[in-house]
Structure 1
Amino acid sequence: MRRVLIIGASGGVGSALAAEYRLRGDQVTGLSRSKDGLDLTDEARVAKVLGGLAGPFDIVLVASGALEIDGAVPEKSIKSISQKAMMDQFTLNAVGPALVLRHAHDLLPRDGRGVFAVLSARVGSIGDNRIGGWISYRSAKAALNQIIRTGAIELARSHKSSICVALHPGTVKTPFTEKYLARHPAVEASEAAENIARVIDGLGAADTGKFFDWAGKPVPW
């Protein structure tokens, strides 16, 4: 039986991931701001909550994040940039997961396979950006991807079999995305959770530091 830690377990995708791993017979520890006081924008709270855990975990999954923060919607053009809205995006969607990754050395096994995965987004891909817009969210996710890439390099020095990746879950039907679905094909959170779990199962040490979509296909940085 594997031990799985899910950060953001009260959200749409996070709760579906917790349910998926429990169905698989894994032991799941789910943490969130609403239920456990794990506020990823508060460095001290992250240290206190994660420092109180008894590791190691076979899988650590960061499923937290937000597209809108304090009512600020994704910008349609660069002319709409707000300093506060951009900083809020970076604080939650990039710095927050980085603060969790800071504890990965203690959360993952030093011997044997351990996976640290963060839900990123294809719109964070610099190489795949063809339409512009959403600059704060895009930039925060691009920063997150760099954090994962760098973290993977450092983690491999002490955890030889570790796997540290960014994952794009696809467009998922949750309150997080309901205003932005339009004509975009989307899947239920339960299906997205199955896809993510399947991708994680298929990862090897050679995949560390990479960015994959819900089907296990590499996404350009």
Structure 2
Amino acid sequence: MNKILPKKILCFITPCRHGTKKRTSMIASIQAAIDGGVNMVQIRQKDANYEELINFTNMVLKLVKNTTLIMVNSETPINIHGIAGTHFPEKTDSKTLYSWPQNKIYGQSVHSVISAKIAEINKINYVIAGTIFPSSSHPKGLISGTKLIRDISKEISIPVIGIGGITQNNAMQVIESGASGIAVISSISKYKDTYKASKLLADAIGI
């Protein structure tokens, strides 16, 4: 997997599901979301142990197209054959990136300009910044508005992806503020028709 990111990114972050059976039930929804325009899937299953995470990731890998980047959310690098790379929380110290597998993509969540600049210095390939709008997944999160995207995009050269309360109605505001893409959870997962939900988002940002 090379380090080429799409010019515009629609990232679907998988909602946390407890238990193998519930995770497996998400596979069809993920496939439909990819067909609808999702070009990055971030596997985020905080309650899963390492073996469960590997098994679920491999199930997702079986259904993706070569153009879909599969990222695994983890505090440490994950080296599974076929994934694009690892996405880290803000608290992960990315200064040790030089010792990680160099053929992978590394992303990091940030909530400030300073964190974004540190991520770039540490050779992170992209950042996900938020919370942009009120979000059901982070109801107590500090709302930054699109100003955070504008401020970060002025200071770093790596892609910035907005997250938090983004819908088809406000997605273009995020792009116009300097973001290279958007990341969503419920704006896709809460709908039965995840193909349609992702298609509307993809159309909204011009994918």
Q: Same fold judged by TM-score > 0.5?
A: no
More relative contact order, 1 or 2 (CA 8 Å, 6+ apart): 2
More helix by share: 1
Which of the pair has more CA radius of gyration? 1
TMscore range, shorter length: 0.3 to 0.5
